[in-house]
Structure 1
Amino acid sequence: MRLTRTISIVGVHCAGEVGGVIVGGVLNPPHCKTMYEKLLYFQNKADDIRQLLMSEPRGRPAMCMNLVLPPCDPCADAGLLIMESDEYPPMSGGNTISTATVLLDTGMVKMTEPVTKLNLETPAGLLDLPVDVPGLGVISVDIAWGGMHYAIVDARSVGLEIKNANGPKLIEVGERVKQAVRNTYTPVHPKNDKIREVTIVEFTEPVRQASDNTKMAVNTVWCLQGDSTGARVEPGAVLDWLSCMQEVNCMGTTTVGGFDAVLPTVKGSAWITGFKYMSLDPSDPFPTGFRVRDQWHMPEPSGERIVK
């Protein structure tokens, strides 16, 4: 057997969000002084790794991949680069929880009692915006930052309810909303103007208050996929996500680049699902994978091989 490359991955899920953490087989990029420079390196010069792992036959739409790298900041224990189906998000709550779980549970970072403090270095407000969506008319969309730029939509405003039976329709409408927002408005991160554009749509339902005064919020996302831990935050909120709980609290407020911002904490759990090696044979006809159009909901090719 001859292999072009072999990549070591720890399988993990965070409240049902399936992903993996790359712990071997991918070298630290050269001459990068920040984690954002490392993001750009993989995005522009080594994106074949993301395509190999995230596209079929090795990947699928609803998954994430996290790459552990040496940090650039000496105060950090490890660097984290996040790969999703269409992008490299600068930050993600669920992926951070997954990566922290793997680093601690495999012994890559020493666990101490009663509290282990782990510093991960990553590359890393609301705006009410009226958007004219073809076939839906004008709807109100909130633009928020939660590790990536979200377009947040009240599901009721497009005549939908967040439930399994409406999954295909939520995907169809979510893609239409995302394209309409991109044609209308381009958000730019106040501290890094290269981080821009909405890449993920989050449908929400009204926040409900329980008898114990906790607040429950039902959310679902479309990016192709992702997690919504960081975007919808208010004091004492609890996100009901895939029937699993993640506790989100607002510890205070601050400003970022002149914009009002919150200081959130997220409490959640992730579970290791297995250990595997991904490999590439030099004779493999799909060295960067492929995407079946009806499963990936891709109206136009985006560089990856598309199978109709």
Structure 2
Amino acid sequence: MSERLTLQLLDTHAGGDVSRIVTGGIEPLPGATVRAQMEYLRDEADGLRKLLLNEPYGIPEMSVDLLVPPTDPRAQVGYIIMEVMGYPIYSGSNTICTATAALETGLVPKREGRQRFVMESPAGLVHIEATVRNGAVEAVTCEGLPSYIDTYKARIHVPSVGRITYSVAYSGGFYALVDATELGFDLTLDEEAQLAKTAYAIVEALQAERGFSHYTLGDVGPLPFLHFMGPVEQVADNFYRSRSTTYVHPGVICRSTTGTGTSARLALMAHEGKIKPGDKLETASLRNTGFIGEFTGTQQAGPHQIVENTITGRGYVLSRSEIVVNSGDPMAERDGLRHILTSAHTPATKAASLAANVPEIRQLDIEVEG
């Protein structure tokens, strides 16, 4: 008989972007930090990401978040983010979804009202504030990564598009920021395919022309993201709104405006002197979902004004499921995966790697068939 291997999942979404939370079925990963565990997964076990984001199990528009034991004693939960373009060290929508999953599964006991806890991402500790009403997680506020403007209003010729003006922000990844109106877009859902095509052309041109280096991280790879910006309107004191959309991969426009995209917008508005600490910006997507970014302060790092910020959104649980990895299925890619899957015949107490390695966290209920 072929061995039956399973993964336990909690599917969630924030702003329309689906995050698959892997809650069980993966062996403990080597690494003294969550960042080191992410690097092991990226270099030695990329099959998990490929399996869950490709047919027949998933689609590239989704994300995957693997729950792991935190390595920092101040954190209650660790998590590793996987997307079609690779392993981002941080993501606002994925953090909102993972925090929601931590509360809904009982990893972090849910309490009425506002509560705070800490998660460990590959980028470091993330402080979370969640609002719970009548047992439902109504909002999650997480820290955005310190963000800054690398390039302001540069020009580039893009084949098939023409000469465009762009800025570049770092907010967890490098973002090209372009004015949607200047390119003739109203940022409506019917424009989604053309937005993806245009963004791809711009990103390809930028990658061919130049690279970008973070002031402490150094080379973090070619610029991957583009954020289309609609007009900004002031809707109340200290509160602004803008239609927005984010491109992340050929053919892929995010359903949400993304947390890191919203952080990038805050960095640009602060750079231009259009907002001050305490001001908020709601970014509204093609599907009329949104995140709220708050500009909380600044610090100086060399030549860069670093914008501190938070992102608020809501995560929803879509389903709880168990995925069967069939050893004889030619559609199920298992290269770089088999060695981290827990055997179906392993006792449940070991299969739940998160619970097994963090004895003080016993609320997560994972069932594994043996």
The equivalent residue for 1:36 is: 35
What's the offset of the Cα at 1:160? 2.4
> For this pair of structures, how many residues does the alignment match?
288
Q: 2:169 aligns with which of 137, 141, 144?
A: 144
What's the offset of the Cα at 1:256? 4.7
Higher relative contact order (CA 8 A, sep 6+): 2
The equivalent residue for 1:296 is: none
The equivalent residue for 1:80 is: 79
* Equivalent-residue separation in structure 2 for 1:262 and 1:85 (angstroms): 28
What's the offset of the Cα at 1:211? 5.0
Deviations 1:116-167 (A, max 9, x none): 2121111221122322211223212221122222111111232322111111
Counterparts of 1:106-255 in structure 2, within 5 Å, are: 106-124=105-123, 125-126=148-149, 127-128=151-152, 129-210=154-235, 214-224=239-249, 225=252, 226=254, 227=258, 228-233=261-266, 234=269, 235-241=279-285, 242-255=287-300
**Cα distance change of structure 1 residues 19 and 121 upon mapping to structure 2, 3 Å threshold:** same
Deviations 1:10-50 (A, max 9, x none): 010102212211111122321x1232222221111111110
- Tell me if structure 2 keeps the 8 A contact 1:22–1:65: yes
Deviations 1:170-196 (A, max 9, x none): 111111111111112222233322523
* Equivalent-residue separation in structure 2 for 1:182 and 1:280 (angstroms): 37
* Equivalent-residue separation in structure 2 for 1:4 and 1:181 (angstroms): 46
**Cα distance change of structure 1 residues 179 and 161 upon mapping to structure 2, 3 Å threshold:** same
**TM-score when scaled to structure 1?**
0.87
Residue identity in the other structure for 2:306 = A
Deviations 1:40-74 (A, max 9, x none): 21111111110000011111122111111112222
What's the offset of the Cα at 1:4? 5.4
**TM-score when scaled to structure 2?**
0.73
Point out 4+ residue stretches in structure 1 off by more than 4 angstroms. none
**Cα distance change of structure 1 residues 270 and 256 upon mapping to structure 2, 3 Å threshold:** farther
Q: 1:268 aligns with which of 295, 303, 313?
A: 313
Counterparts of 1:264-303 in structure 2, within 5 Å, are: 264-288=309-333
Could you tell me which runs of 5 or more consecutive residues in structure 2 were left unpaired when the two chains were aligned: 124-147, 270-278, 335-370
The equivalent residue for 2:22 is: 22
Q: SS at 2:243's partner residue? A: strand
**Cα distance change of structure 1 residues 258 and 9 upon mapping to structure 2, 3 Å threshold:** farther
Residue identity in the other structure for 2:296 = M
Residue identity in the other structure for 1:34 = T
The equivalent residue for 1:59 is: 58
Residue identity in the other structure for 2:288 = S
The equivalent residue for 1:306 is: none
Q: Percent identity?
A: 28
The equivalent residue for 2:304 is: 259
Deviations 1:192-220 (A, max 9, x none): 22523211111111211125552111111
Structure ID, larger Rg: 2
Could you tell me which runs of 5 or more consecutive residues in structure 1 were left unpaired when the two chains were aligned: 290-308
* Equivalent-residue separation in structure 1 for 2:301 and 2:79 (angstroms): 22
* Equivalent-residue separation in structure 1 for 2:99 and 2:331 (angstroms): 32
